[in-house]
A and B are shown apart, each in its own frame.
Chain A
Amino acid sequence: MCSGVELERLREMPFFRDMPREVLIPLARVAVREKLPAGHMLLRQYDRARAVHFLVSGSVQILIQVGVDDLLVAVLDAPGDLIGWSAFRPPYRYTASVRCEGVTEVVTVPAEAFNEMLDLDPGLTYAVLQKVAATMAGRMQQARDMLGSALRQGPIGSRRR
C-alpha cells in the first residue's frame, strides 16, 4: 500500500524537524509512505543506494550476508529511524540488507531528491550530514552492544592443521 506524504507529516519526523519548510516541499512531493508486510526486504546489501527510508511504525532487522547466512546485526524500531545511510556516502551502495520484522510502515525518499536539495545549500548539507553521522554512530553502538553479548569461544583456525 503506497501513498504520498504530507509536508507536515514529514516535518514531524526528527530528521526533518529543524529544516526550513521550503526545502521540504520538494521532498514531500516525491516521498512515498508505504505499509509493508512482515518479511519484506526493504533493501538489499550491495545494491546501489537509490532511496532513504524513515521508519514510521513497526520494526526492521538489519542483516549482513555471511556466506549463505544472514547475520542479524541490529533491530530498528524507533519511529523516525533513518534506514539507508549509504545513500550519503561513497560508494553509495547499501552495506546491509533490511527486512521488515512485522507489518512496517516507512516513508521513502529517493536519494536523488536529497542530492538535489543538498546541492543547493551547503549549510543544510552540513546539518543533514550531522544527522546521518548520528544515525551511523547509533548503529555502531548497536554493533558494540552485540559484540559485548557475543562471547568469543576460541582462537582462529580450528580447521587448521
Chain B
Amino acid sequence: MMTAPVLTLLRNAPFFALFAAEHVAELARAAEIVHYERGQRIFTEGEPATRLLVLAGGAVGLSVEVHPDAGGHAAASESLQAVTHAGHAVGWSVMIEPFVYRDTATALERTRLVAWDREFLHMYARRAPDFGVSLMQAVVGVLGERLQALRVRLVARRYDDDVTAIRTLIEESTTELPVSSPLHRIPLYLEHRLTLADAFRCLDLVQDSDDEVECRVAALCADALGSVREELVLYQRLQAIYDTVAGAAPMVSPEEVRTRSLLRFRELFERTRFHISGQENLPDQPGQIFVMNHLSNHPDNLLPNKFILTLDTHFVASMILLGKYGEAPIRVIRKARPDEYGHQKFYDRLGYIYTYSGYVDADAELAGASREARRRFFLDAAARWLCAGRNVLICPEGCSTSTEESPLRFRPGAFELAAHVTPEPLIVPIAVANFDKKITRTTTVAVVHEPFRLSEFVPDPTATAALRDFLNSEITVRFRQWVREAASRAAAPVPYG
C-alpha cells in the first residue's frame, strides 16, 4: 500500500487534526484502502462494528431504519447524512460499546476509504493512551456534529419547516460564527423559491471556507437541506424545459420542439423514483389512442409565470411512448384562456391539438364557433394524425384531480375519436398515480393496460346512451381500480430510476 498519499490525506483530515504526528504516521502504516462502487453497502446498522473508516474520495450516505409508528407501518430507511468531504470519518461505533454499527453506510458514488480494524485501534490505544484520548476526542467531536444534525432534522420535521430548523441551527452556532458570515443570510434565502439557489450557492462557497465552524455549520445546513436541493434541481429543470419550448427559435419545427422537450423530461424523470409496468401491452404499431387519468400538479412546481408543467402526461409521453415509438405523441390540450400567457407561450410552440372550451381569443381559429363545430374540429384534427400513423395521447376527464379521487368522470371525445377513424385504432389505457405529490418524495407509477377497440364494447358508437353507459359503467370503474392498484405499487420498494 502507498503510505505517503495516505499520510498526506490523514494529515489534512479534520478527524485527525488533534493527533500527534507520530500517531498519524502509525495510522498511515496500518491503514488499508478499500473501494466501493455506487450503491454498494459499506456497513449495515446492527452488525458488529469492525472497522473505522475515513473518506478518501467519493461520497457515503448514512441512513437508519425508522419505525414510523405503532400503527403497523413497515420500517423504512431514513437518509441521515451524506459524508462528502475527504478526511471525514464513518464507522465510529467501532470505538463505542457494544461495538455495533448504529447506521447503514452506502457508497453514493465510486468511493475510496481508508480503514482500520477495531483490534488495531484498541490495541494501539492501550499501548499509547494519548493516541486513545485523541481518538476518543475525535469520535466525541463527530458524535456532537451528528447529534446536532439529527436535531436539525427533528426540528424541521416537528415544525414542518426546514427554514425554522436552519434558523435554529444558525442561532445555536451564533456565538461561534463570524458576525460577517454569509450563513446568517441562509434563512432569508430559504424563504422564497426563487432565492433557494442563492442559499445553496452560499452554502457551497462557505463549505470551502477557512473558518472551521463556518465550514461545519454550512455542511450541516447542506445535509439538512438535501431533499430541498433535490426539489430545487427539479424545479430548475422544469424552468429549463419551459424555456426550451417557449424560447425555441421560430425555424425549429413543432415536431423538433416536442422531441427536445420530451428528451429533457426523460432526463428529469430518470432522477426520480418511478415504476412503469405493462409495457408489453403497448401495440407494436403507432397510430393508436392512449387514454390516461389526469392528476393535479403539485403547487411547488408553479413557475414564476404562473404556469405549471403537467408531470403525468409528460411522463407517459416521454418515458413510455417516446421510448417505445421513438417519436413524441400528439397530445390533446385545452386552448388557454387569453390571460394564461405562460400556457399559451408553451403549448402554442408544440403544435398539439387544441380543444376549445369556454371563452377563447376573438382571433382564434374557432372563436364564435358552435360547440358542434369545435367538436368536429377536434375529431378531424386528431383523425389526421392517427391516419398518419401518429399516436394521440388524451386525458378524457378534461380536468385533473388527486390520486385518491382519480379518475373523475370521463368525457366521450377520446372514444368518439376512435369511432371516427378508419381503420379503427386501438385504445390503450394507462393508469397513473402519485404525480400530484412532490415527485422528489414519492414513487410515481404508470401502468399500461391491455388495449381494446371501442367496437368490442359499443358496436354502434353513434348510440349516445350506449357510449355513455360504457364510459360510466365500464371504463371509469375499471380505471378507478387501476389507479388504486397503481398507487399501491408505489408502496413497494422501488429503486431510483
The contact sample of 12 A-B pairs, CB cut-off 8 A, is A64-B172, A67-B167, A91-B176, A126-B135, A130-B96, A136-B147, A137-B93, A137-B143, A144-B64, A148-B66, A151-B68, A151-B69
Taking a contact as CB atoms under 8 Å apart, the answer to whether B193 and A143 are in contact is no
A156 B102 Cβ-Cβ under 8 A: no
Mark out the residues of chain A between 107 and 161 whose CB falls within 8 Å of any chain B CB in the assembled complex.
121-123, 125-126, 129-130, 132-134, 136-137, 139-141, 143-144, 146-161
Interface size class of A (residues with CB under 8 A): 35 or more
Q: Which residues of B contact A158 (CB under 8 A)?
A: 160-161
Q: Is A78 an interface residue (CB 8 A)?
A: no
A129–B441 CB distance below 8 A: no
Q: B166 — nearest CB in chain A belongs to which residue?
A: A156
Within 8 A of A (CB), among B152-197: 153-155, 157-164, 167-168, 171-172, 175-176, 190-193, 196
**Residue in A64, A89, A122, A141 whose CB lies within 8 Å of B140:** A89
CB of B139 within 8 Å of the partner chain: yes
In the assembled complex, B129 has its CB within 8 A of some CB on chain A: yes
Collect the chain A residues with CB atoms within 8 Å of residue B162's CB.
156-157
User: Chain A nearest CB: distance from B32 CB in Å?
Assistant: 23
| In contact, A123 and B78 (Cβ under 8 angstroms) | no
Q: A126-B129, A156-B190 are in contact. List 8 more A-B contacts (CB 8 A).
A: A71-B155, A95-B151, A129-B137, A133-B143, A140-B150, A159-B163, A160-B192, A160-B193
**Chain B residues within an 8 Å CB radius of A141:** 102
Q: CB distance B129 to A150 under 8 Å?
A: no
CA distance A64 to B171 in the complex (A): 11
Question: What CA separation (Å) do A129 and B125 show in the bound complex?
Answer: 12
**B148 interfacial by beta-carbon distance below 8 Å:** yes
Task: Give complex CA distance A151, B73 in Å.
Answer: 12
Selected from A96, A146, A155, the residue in CB contact (under 8 A) with B441 is A155
Are the C-beta atoms of B175 and A46 separated by less than 8 Å?
yes
Query: A45: nearest residue on chain B (CB-CB)?
Result: B172
Task: Report A36 CB to chain B, min CB distance, Å.
Answer: 24
- In the complex the two chains form, is A146's CB within 8 Å of B154's CB? yes
9 cross-chain pairs, A with B, having the tightest CB-CB distances, nearest first: A148-B66, A129-B136, A126-B132, A122-B129, A143-B150, A136-B143, A123-B129, A150-B157, A153-B160
Cβ contact of A161, chosen from B67, B141, B302, B438, cutoff 8 A: B302
Q: Which residues of B does A touch, CB under 8 Å?
A: 64, 66-69, 78, 80, 92-93, 95-97, 102, 125-126, 129-130, 132-133, 135-137, 139-141, 143-144, 146-148, 150-151, 153-155, 157-164, 167-168, 171-172, 175-176, 190-193, 196, 225, 227-228, 231, 300, 302, 438, 441
Contacts of B193 in A (CB 8 A): 157, 160-161
- On whether the beta carbons of B154 and A65 are closer than 8 Å, the reply is no
A157-B191, A160-B192 as given contacts; A137 in contact with B96, CB under 8 Å? yes
Q: Is A66 interfacial (CB-CB < 8 Å)?
A: yes
Given the interface pairs A147-B153, A160-B192, the reply to whether A130 lies near B97 with Cβ below 8 Å is yes
Residue of B nearest to A124 (CB): B129
Q: Does A88 contact B (CB under 8 A)?
A: yes
Verify if A5 is at the interface (C-beta below 8 Å from B): no
Q: Quick check: B231 and A156 within 8 Å, CB to CB? A: yes
A73 within 8 A of B: yes
Q: Is A93 an interface residue (CB 8 A)?
A: yes
CB distance from A88 to the nearest CB of B (A): 6
Residue of A nearest to B137 (CB): A129
Do A137 and B157 touch across chains, with their CB atoms under 8 A apart? no
Q: What residues of chain B lie closer than 8 Å to A139, measured between beta carbons?
A: 147
* B96–A150 CB distance below 8 A: no
Chain B contacts for A95, CB-based, 8 A: 144, 147-148, 151, 172
**Closest A residue, CB atoms, query B165:** A66
Rounded to whole Å, the gap between the CB of B380 and the closest CB of chain A is 41
**Which chain B residue lies CB-closest to A122?**
B129
Chain A contacts for B92, CB-based, 8 A: 133
CA distance A126 to B129 in the complex (A): 7
Q: How far is the CA of A49 from the CA of B163 in the complex (A)?
A: 28
The reply to whether A136 and B154 form a contact with Cβ atoms under 8 Å apart is no
Q: Let me know if B143 and A147 touch, CB within 8 A.
A: no
Bound-state CA distance A148–B64 (Å) is 10
Min distance, Cβ B137 to any Cβ of chain A, angstroms: 6
Asked if B168 and A66 make an inter-chain contact with CB atoms under 8 angstroms apart, the answer reads yes
- B164 to A66, Cβ gap below 8 A? yes
How many angstroms from the CA of A16 to the CA of B300 in the assembled complex?
54
Other-chain residue from A126, A140, A154 in contact with B133 (beta carbon distance below 8 A): A126
Cβ–Cβ < 8 Å partners of A159 in chain B: 163, 191
Chain A: minimal CB distance from B395 (Å): 25
B67, B95, B154: the one contacting A143 at CB < 8 Å is B154
Cross-interface CB contact of B146 among A96, A130, A140, A147, cutoff 8 Å: A140
Q: Are B133 and A149 in touch, CB under 8 angstroms?
A: no
Contact B154 A137 (CB under 8 A): no
Q: Which B residues are in CB contact (< 8 Å) with A85?
A: 140
Chain A's nearest CB lies how many Å from the CB of B187? 11
**Chain A residues with Cβ under 8 A from B157's Cβ?**
147, 150-152
- A140 and B102 CA atoms in complex are apart in Å by 9
Q: Is the CB of A126 within 8 A of B125?
A: yes
Contact A156 B132, beta carbon cutoff 8 Å: no
